């Protein structure tokens, strides 16, 4: 593809190229137990099986659902998460089986 000369060359950029915001286009995925308190994420995948998987689905923890870390117990386990306007407590080993994609927060706040 040929670039145009003159003024049009200044406005030329590939559609897939990131803007000057520092965005690399890659989304940050991690397990739910790594999500900091007060942060939100979207559930990508659940790696548990059988009865435990069914329990998580019954609690509303499904791929594509938004989840927020609300509070942790004094020793750090379990942790309370807000899912679909309900608060659910999960142990660290259960949260480690849930892959999430952290939401980007623009502006001053984290």
Percentage above 90 pLDDT, the chain: 49
Task: pLDDT band for 105, please (50, 70, 90 cuts).
Answer: low
List Cα–Cα distances, 32 to 64, 91, 98, 108, in angstroms: 14, 10, 6, 24
- 3-class DSSP state of 101: strand
User: What number is the average pLDDT over the span 38-54?
Assistant: 91
Which residues have CB under 8 Å from 10's CB, separation 6+?
A: none
Task: pLDDT band for 106, please (50, 70, 90 cuts).
Answer: low
Instruction: Tell me the pLDDT tens digit for each residue of 60-87.
Output: 999 999 999 999 888 878 999 999 999 9
Please answer whether residues 83 and 41 qualify as being in contact, where contact means their C-beta atoms are separated by less than 8 angstroms.
no
List Cα–Cα distances, 37 to 4, 49, 64, 73, 74, in angstroms: 49, 27, 20, 11, 13
């Amino acid at each position: 593809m040929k670039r145009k000369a003159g003024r049009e060359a200044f406005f030329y950029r590939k559609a897939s190229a990131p803007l000057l915001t520092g965005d690399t286009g890659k989304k940050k995925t991690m397990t739910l137990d790594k999500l900091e308190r007060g942060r939100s994420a979207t559930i990508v995948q659940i790696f548990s099986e059988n009865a435990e998987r069914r329990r998580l689905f019954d609690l509303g923890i499904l791929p594509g659902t938004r989840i927020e870390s609300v509070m942790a117990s004094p020793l750090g386990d379990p942790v309370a998460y807000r899912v679909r306007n309900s608060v659910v407590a999960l142990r660290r080993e259960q949260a480690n089986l849930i892959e999430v994609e952290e939401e980007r927060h623009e502006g001053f706040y984290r």
